[in-house]
Structure 1
Amino acid sequence: MERIIEEIREDLSRRIAVAADRLADRTLAEDPAYAALLGRAELRERIHHTLRQAVEGLLRSSRGLPVELADARAVGALRAEQGLPLASLLRTYRRGGRLLWQSLTEAVTVHDRAALPRLLPGAAALWDVLDQMTDAMTESYRRTEAAHADRDRERRAALLDVLLDGADGPPVPAAEAAEAAAAQLGLPERGRFTVVVLAAAASGVPVAPVAPAAPAGGPGAASAPRVLWRIRAGGEIGLVELGHHPLESVRELLAPLGVRAGVGPVVEAPAELARARRLAALALRTAPESEGPRTAVLDERLPAALVAAQAELAGRLRQVVLGPVLALPAEDRRTLLTTLGTWLACRGSTTDAAQRLYCHRNTVSNRLRRLEQLTGRSLSDPRQVVELALAHSAVLQHVEAEPATRRAAPDPRASRTPGGTARRSPRRPA
């Protein structure tokens, strides 16, 4: 093989140059990605160089030497950085390999047709060299592409942090930093945004499919809000671009995930997203784990959010309003608190509460009277009902905040109601 190539080297060089011209013209005519990236002279020179490298690789292989692959790796990394699709690069490599074999056979035919049978064993060697070059280029391309994707993710995460955490410094520079970050993430300067905070236990679950943003009310408008997710150790945070969608669409978006989530208020500027994130985290605190998967929208849970925001006052509220109840034995305490929570969830209906608790209406009335006696609060006084409701919320949040080892063991005969309270099973224990 080496002898044949040496005999036809001058003619082969001319044919390779022509092949490079043909392949450059065809590539630019058929592949818009190449046409947008390279001019003809540069592309032709690169193809010509690659074909000559393949011939040198064939000669080295025939001598038992390794093929030089540094140039193929450099090309793969460069094209990945430039954003040229790998499919385009591979297509050009394959076409170049076919043209090189055609050039070889034509040169040998002109030089000595009788030598063609001696060339055939070189076909396998040539394709092996081309495979090595292609594999080296592809591996380098994918490694560079992965590193580039990692950088993009880190950059995107940093931009989201600016929006979700706020920037240090006075308000004006902070607002400017938020607007700059929003622009780089493709968010408008003004619009309708909110923030979603998922509970830590939800980390790692697949998020809902995100539809691309579309002009509000325009053709092809997205069927769901656009969400940019940020994964953190404490849970996932979603920046939601609502556009024309109502806030309720966020609940619909999260429903299939089966997670606990807090949703902040709607804000109009990127600089307000940090506040929305803090309020979303506060909303999440109003949805105890014991209530199961649910979406807590801040504006629907403002009283509980007030309690969650003031830990010291919440502790005082628990003791002042429900202290005598909390001092009862565990079973009595649980019964009265469960009854109060169910009665509140049923909007003060003793009948509905009795149905949820699987007991007689008079039983509920007796428990509520005992609660009034212990607390000195009347359930017929709206202001005192508010106190009891806030104190009850403070108790639930306090229990949720306690370490799991300190919580009372749950009653295996109890099940959960929509109001987050327990109800007795009508079946008696065996």
Structure 2
Amino acid sequence: MEYVSPRQTSGPRPWSALPPELPGILAPAVPPLAAELMTLLPQQVPAYAAATEGRYWEKLARGVDIALARLVALPGTDEPALNEESRRLVSGLGTGEFREGRSMDSLLAAYRAGARLAFRVLSEECLDAGMSPAVTISLGESIWAYIDELSSVSAQAYAAELSAQAGLRERRHAELLETLLRGGADDVEIRRLATAADWRLPSRIAVVVLPTVAAARARLQLGATGLVVERDSEATALVAAPERPHQETRLLRMLARTEAVVGPPVEWSDAPHSHRVAQFLASRRARRTVHAPDEERAPLLADDHLTEVLMGVEPRLVGRLAARALAPLEAVSDRKRAVFEQTLLSWLRHRGQRAPMAAELGVHTQTVGYRVRRLRELFGDALDDPDERFRLEIALRGCRGLRPAHPGA
């Protein structure tokens, strides 16, 4: 299928108006022009200064020969800028730029340098042959239209290679992640997959769970330090395990506004455990932060919430414990029960100190005193027993989640 550029759709190709005898006049100038251009490129395009040897340089030289030969063959015809051979070669140059690790800027700069040199040399040939200035002007327009075609085809090939490589990289990232989360793979296999994925595998890792919509932001913020994969119902990332406070702080800063949960640091073989813990906390968090303020949506470390994880392992046992420990509250109404549970948890947290309890609950200290007296009537000596107080706190936190309830809850 013939490539048609926007310039070509606007009317006749500019070289069609040039004298048909021009190709025969310009053809002898192509070999010295090509040689001069290959000498000029390393000087004018710094990226090529260290690339003047090897297969790619040979391919570029061949591309210059074919591109210039095609250019001087076009005057007087209405043929497209590129035939099958030249298009294939120019496309290969775009692909090669990507594989050589350069941006398209280098090749586009080379094309521009070639256009300037070609116009200088070929316009002199026209003048020596007695052509009018109008021919020289049309030749210049034709050269730049031709370079536009070369640039467009090479850029398309570069973009296609970039997309293909990005897709391959994502698949390899996903394969490494799934293998780690599945467990059971030996170190040799894990290292092989990490190498294929071009990811530097840290000695210890942490698995991060976050909403799929936050994957792009996390990928951008983590950069090469993290491996982010979008899965069916979540985005999952692998990061180097934060072992020190400053590392934790830095990781949380990078994950800001992603609602991420960072699983506990583990060896590679324990990645499934880190993932399960992070998933558990993420699911609990999702249920209770639907309308939460931004500070409650900040990323969190599983190591700071292990109590919640432990209580969530056997929620039915926690429920049974709560039913037994909080049985005295069955004597009051549901509305008062919520108030007494809130007050009792505050009493346990502040060891009975009324001032901080009143500040936390948003009530007067006398109200706190009344409620505590009523709690003593309901629970009796249990409030003076350390073991019973421990069970009460587990029961209350298990019912309300890790964070203590706020006033008015």
Query: Do both share a fold (TM > 0.5)?
Result: yes
Q: Which residue pairs with 2:191 in the alignment? A: 179
TM-superposed CA distance for 1:376, in Å, is 7.1
* 1:93 aligns to 2:93 (yes or no): no
Change in 2 beyond 3 A, CA 1:261/1:7 = closer
Distance 1:261 1:143 in 2: 33
Q: Which residue pairs with 1:104 in the alignment? A: 122
Q: How does 1:44-63 map to 2 (within 5 A)?
A: 44-56=61-73, 58-59=74-75, 62-63=76-77
Distance 2:327 2:246 in 1: 38
Equivalent of 2:39, from 1, 25, 46? 25
1:95-152 Cα offsets, whole Å, 9 max, x none, are: 2222222332232233x23544433233223322321232232233223323322332
Q: Residues 17 and 48 of structure 1 are in contact (CA less than 8 Å); yes or no, is this contact kept in structure 2?
A: yes
TM-score w.r.t. the length of structure 1 is 0.73
Which stretch shows the higher mean deviation, 75-84 or 298-307?
A: 75-84
Q: Residues 178 and 271 of structure 1 are in contact (CA less than 8 Å); yes or no, is this contact kept in structure 2?
A: no
Distance 1:362 1:20 in 2: 96
TM-superposed CA distance for 1:25, in Å, is 2.9
1:219-272 Cα offsets, whole Å, 9 max, x none, are: xxxxxxx443334454444433257x61453245425825644333333x3333
Distance 1:153 1:208 in 2: 12
Distance 1:310 1:156 in 2: 34
Q: How does 1:229-378 map to 2 (within 5 A)?
A: 229-232=228-231, 234-242=233-241, 246-247=244-245, 249-251=247-249, 253-254=251-252, 257-258=256-257, 260-267=259-266, 269-284=267-282, 288-289=288-289, 292-322=296-326, 325=329, 329-346=333-350, 348-371=352-375, 374=378, 378=382
Change in 2 beyond 3 A, CA 1:296/1:32 = same
Distance 1:207 1:32 in 2: 37
- Aligned residues: percent identity? 22
SS in 2 for 1:125: helix
Q: Which residue pairs with 2:227 in the alignment? A: 228
Q: Residues 258 and 298 of structure 2 are in contact (CA less than 8 Å); yes or no, is this contact kept in structure 1?
A: yes
Distance 1:248 1:94 in 2: 49
TM-superposed CA distance for 1:358, in Å, is 2.2
Q: Residues 209 and 275 of structure 2 are in contact (CA less than 8 Å); yes or no, is this contact kept in structure 1?
A: yes
Structure 2: state its 5+ residue gaps. 1-14
Q: Residues 159 and 185 of structure 1 are in contact (CA less than 8 Å); yes or no, is this contact kept in structure 2?
A: no
Q: Residues 317 and 394 of structure 1 are in contact (CA less than 8 Å); yes or no, is this contact kept in structure 2?
A: no
1:44-74 Cα offsets, whole Å, 9 max, x none, are: 1111111222334x33xx4444433651445
SS in 2 for 1:228: strand
Q: Residues 27 and 34 of structure 1 are in contact (CA less than 8 Å); yes or no, is this contact kept in structure 2?
A: no
Which stretch shows the higher mean deviation, 287-296 or 13-22?
A: 287-296
Distance 1:363 1:101 in 2: 93
* 1:196 aligns to 2:208 (yes or no): yes
Distance 2:166 2:42 in 1: 27
SS in 1 for 2:407: strand
Change in 2 beyond 3 A, CA 1:146/1:3 = closer
Equivalent of 1:156, from 147, 152, 173? 173
Partner amino acid for 2:363?
C
Q: Residues 260 and 294 of structure 1 are in contact (CA less than 8 Å); yes or no, is this contact kept in structure 2?
A: yes
Equivalent of 2:385, from 381, 386, 390? 381
Superposition CA RMSD, Å? 3.7
Q: Which residue pairs with 2:163 in the alignment? A: 146
SS in 1 for 2:326: helix
TM-score w.r.t. the length of structure 2 is 0.76
SS in 2 for 1:13: helix
Which stretch shows the higher mean deviation, 84-93 or 286-295?
A: 286-295
Q: Residues 252 and 299 of structure 2 are in contact (CA less than 8 Å); yes or no, is this contact kept in structure 1?
A: yes
Q: Residues 34 and 84 of structure 1 are in contact (CA less than 8 Å); yes or no, is this contact kept in structure 2?
A: no
Equivalent of 1:166, from 178, 182, 185? 182
Q: Residues 189 and 270 of structure 1 are in contact (CA less than 8 Å); yes or no, is this contact kept in structure 2?
A: no
Distance 2:189 2:220 in 1: 29
SS in 2 for 1:130: helix
Change in 2 beyond 3 A, CA 1:242/1:307 = closer
Q: Which residue pairs with 2:406 in the alignment? A: 422
Partner amino acid for 2:141?
A
Distance 1:339 1:37 in 2: 78
1:286-331 Cα offsets, whole Å, 9 max, x none, are: 7653692355443443332211122332332333333564785442
Q: Residues 377 and 384 of structure 1 are in contact (CA less than 8 Å); yes or no, is this contact kept in structure 2?
A: no
Distance 1:369 1:208 in 2: 54
Q: How does 1:114-125 map to 2 (within 5 A)?
A: 114-125=131-142
Distance 1:126 1:139 in 2: 20
Q: Which structure shows the bigger proportion of residues in helix conformation?
A: 2
SS in 2 for 1:229: strand
Q: Residues 397 and 404 of structure 2 are in contact (CA less than 8 Å); yes or no, is this contact kept in structure 1?
A: no
Q: Residues 16 and 78 of structure 2 are in contact (CA less than 8 Å); yes or no, is this contact kept in structure 1?
A: no
SS in 2 for 1:206: helix
Change in 2 beyond 3 A, CA 1:181/1:350 = farther
Partner amino acid for 1:88?
S
Q: How many residues align?
A: 380
Partner amino acid for 2:262?
V
Q: Which residue pairs with 2:9 in the alignment? A: none
TM-superposed CA distance for 1:332, in Å, is 1.6
TM-superposed CA distance for 1:91, in Å, is 1.3
